Chains A and B, each alone.
Chain A
Amino acid sequence: MKKQFRLGLFIFLTPVLLWLILLIVIPHIELLLMSLHGKDDMGNTVWTFANYRHFFTEEIYWYTFVRTAFYAITVTILTFLVTFPVAFYITKVVSPRFTGFLTILLLMPFWVSELVRVYGWMILLRESGVINHLLTSSGLLAAPVEMLYNDASMLMGLVYTSMLFMVVPLISSLEGLDDSLIEAAHDLGASPFTIFFRIIIPYAAPGITSGSIVVFMLALGNYLTPTLMGGKNSLWFTEQIYNEFIASFNWNQGAAFGFLLLLLSSLIIWGALKLSRQELGRALS
């Protein structure tokens, strides 16, 4: 029996190790190594910090970096604010008969490709778009306005595409909250305000953390929404990476940017986990 047990371990361990080492560990080491390489004046490959130095000396790079981080956090907070009432309504307020239906309805759009959803917003918002058409033809607006290609539309697009990853953990943690806890607090004379901050939020904290981590990560690494909805000056950091790789073909510089992005996202996720005293495994599942 003992031998079979070890054989099982071997069978399960091998593919997992292959996957993690070949596709995760080695590529990220390679990413780091590439970011520390560059060409000298003779065109030879050498070890250098130039790629990182470049990042700090060129204002546009670190400005984009900070801007991306700041907006990703903003998106996370906005997503929470928009979806929390919905999660609360579905789990606690609406009659249980509609809970299932509303949940399904809520999840449906997110099965559809992000690209399709962003495209939908584009044909709604742009100058020749549906909203402008409705507003001008009803006389509310004299001439069409460009509503797309600005920071606001970009933020809205990011919130829209990441809502699912906030609302699902919120719903599942609120579902676990026993109604009688709220009733008891109410019975003991607590105001809705107190109930909200002392009972509901602490209870939903694990859901909030895991939702926030995923939303933040997705916003930070998003490429589609900023490029398509943010227009020419959207300045999203992933665009910089893309440009270095595809347009400038400067892979070393791109690798440095990639590594910085990885560092940033890891740091913020780590910080969020520490602050909320959670583990990665629990936050993801």
Chain B
Amino acid sequence: MIRTLPQQRSYTTAFRIYILLFYIFLFAPLVITCILAFNDSNFPALPWKGFSLDWFLGEGPERIGLLHDRSNLRSIVVSAQTAFWVSILSVVVGTMGAFLFEQEKFPGKQGLYFLALTPLVIPGVILGISLLLTANSLGIFFEDTFGVDIPILRPSFWLVVLGQFSFIATFVLLVVSARLKKFDHSLEEAALNLGATRFDVIRYITLPFLRPALFGSGAVAFLMSFENFNTTLFLVGSETTLPINLYLQVRDGSTPIINAVSFLLIVSTSLLAVINLLVSKREVKA
């Protein structure tokens, strides 16, 4: 049954085969996507026609590689900018929320906490449309009453940032709260006792203690934002993010340039994942 109990051979073998198949299932689409990014072919499909970097470096006219593809490059930049702002906002507000719910007492705390958790269980599509509706109504209101046009209230970069932030902040809040729960309050008292002010305590004791959680949740927030599709779909303006841009390309027929983008995404996110993991492991040891 488990490793410390005697096991039947057939049980172990069957289990191993299942796990092997599972991991093949898990990696097949990613591996194939990566391989076909280097196929010297005009379609992301077999047969293998030889190794080529055309879909990264090609200058056209027949094959335009990623490096020369304005629209994809632009959307990568937009996504990175969005993710940057979303992670900053989410970490700041999420951390404040964690402090609020872990350390402060006020009437209605339970209800507010429940409300703060709901964004994670509201489908992303709903978050997108409700924000779109509200921004639109506000925009009409301002235009009708004051005769001013507020561009942020139309599908735009900042609306996407707000929409993603609305649920990613909850994620940060949960991660930071979990860390804050492990905080030993005698450390705070010790610092006060040694002459620190309340500000000193936060600066030198609490924030350093939270650092792994802040960086970890910040990195994941960045990724969540970079890859978000559902919420973004309804809020995106002329500046399309990478997932939206890729979606439009996939829907309208695919070229191996999508594989090239995917390859870069897979490599960079895997690297980020490994770094994040190594860092958090070191922090746990320390």
Direct A–B contact in complex, judged by CB atoms less than 8 Å apart: yes
Measured CA separation A217–B118 after assembly (Å): 12
Inter-chain contacts of B86 with A (CB < 8 A): none
Measured CA separation A94–B15 after assembly (Å): 10
User: Whole-angstrom distance from the CB of B269 to the nearest CB of chain A?
Assistant: 4
Measured CA separation A239–B2 after assembly (Å): 45
Judge whether B123 is part of the interface by a CB distance below 8 angstroms. yes
Judge whether A116 is part of the interface by a CB distance below 8 angstroms. yes
User: Whole-angstrom distance from the CB of A85 to the nearest CB of chain B?
Assistant: 6
Stretch of A23-31, A48-56, A57-65, A145-153 that contacts chain B: A23-31
Q: A13-B100, A123-B44 are in contact. Are A111 and B33 (CB under 8 A)?
A: no
Inter-chain contacts of A129 with B (CB < 8 A): 45
Cβ-defined contact, B22 with A4, below 8 A: no
Neighbour of A23 across the interface among B166, B227, B251, CB < 8 A: B166
Cβ-defined contact, B29 with A285, below 8 A: no
Judge whether A204 is part of the interface by a CB distance below 8 angstroms. no
Q: A86-B22, A109-B27, A117-B29 are in contact. Are A261 and B254 (CB under 8 A)?
A: no
Cβ-defined contact, A28 with B130, below 8 A: yes
Q: A16-B96, A130-B45 are in contact. Are A24 and B262 (CB under 8 A)?
A: no
User: Whole-angstrom distance from the CB of A78 to the nearest CB of chain B?
Assistant: 13
Cβ-defined contact, A238 with B106, below 8 A: no
Cβ-defined contact, B126 with A182, below 8 A: no
Cβ-defined contact, B269 with A223, below 8 A: no
Output the residue of A26, A123, A242, A245 with the most chain B CB within 10 A. Answer: A123
The closest CB in chain B to the CB of A23 belongs to B166
Neighbour of A31 across the interface among B28, B97, B133, B223, CB < 8 A: B133
Measured CA separation A258–B122 after assembly (Å): 11
Q: A27-B134, A258-B125 are in contact. Are A16 and B97 (CB under 8 A)?
A: yes
Cβ-defined contact, B234 with A245, below 8 A: yes
Cβ-defined contact, B121 with A16, below 8 A: no
Cβ-defined contact, B230 with A285, below 8 A: no
Inter-chain contacts of A25 with B (CB < 8 A): 115
Inter-chain contacts of B247 with A (CB < 8 A): 115, 224, 228
Cβ-defined contact, B251 with A27, below 8 A: no
Cβ-defined contact, A116 with B30, below 8 A: yes
Neighbour of A89 across the interface among B19, B121, B198, CB < 8 A: B19
Judge whether A107 is part of the interface by a CB distance below 8 angstroms. yes
Measured CA separation A238–B133 after assembly (Å): 16
Q: Which of A112-132 contact B (CB under 8 A)?
A: 112-124, 128-130
User: Whole-angstrom distance from the CB of A279 to the nearest CB of chain B?
Assistant: 9
Cβ-defined contact, B3 with A92, below 8 A: yes
User: Whole-angstrom distance from the CB of B173 to the nearest CB of chain A?
Assistant: 9
Cβ-defined contact, B2 with A112, below 8 A: no
Neighbour of A133 across the interface among B47, B223, B269, CB < 8 A: B47
Chain A interface residue number, banded: 35 or more
Inter-chain contacts of B270 with A (CB < 8 A): 108, 111-112
Q: Which of A233-285 contact B (CB under 8 A)?
A: 238, 241-242, 245-246, 251, 254-255, 258, 261-262, 265-266, 269, 280-281, 284-285
The closest CB in chain A to the CB of B263 belongs to A116
Inter-chain contacts of A143 with B (CB < 8 A): none
Cβ-defined contact, A179 with B29, below 8 A: no
User: Whole-angstrom distance from the CB of A31 to the nearest CB of chain B?
Assistant: 4
Cβ-defined contact, A284 with B123, below 8 A: no
Measured CA separation A245–B136 after assembly (Å): 13
Measured CA separation A150–B80 after assembly (Å): 34
Measured CA separation A12–B15 after assembly (Å): 50
The closest CB in chain B to the CB of A213 belongs to B121
Cβ-defined contact, B123 with A265, below 8 A: yes
User: Whole-angstrom distance from the CB of B262 to the nearest CB of chain A?
Assistant: 4
Judge whether B146 is part of the interface by a CB distance below 8 angstroms. no
Q: Which of B1-27 contact A (CB under 8 A)?
A: 1-5, 12, 15, 18-19, 22-23, 25-27
Closest 3 CB pairs of A and B: A120-B29, A221-B123, A27-B130
Q: List 7 A-B contacts (CB under 8 A).
A: A8-B104, A92-B2, A123-B32, A217-B121, A224-B229, A246-B234, A255-B133
A17-B112, A112-B269 known, 12 other contacts, Cβ within 8 Å: A23-B163, A23-B165, A24-B115, A25-B115, A30-B134, A31-B126, A85-B19, A113-B265, A119-B254, A238-B125, A262-B126, A265-B121
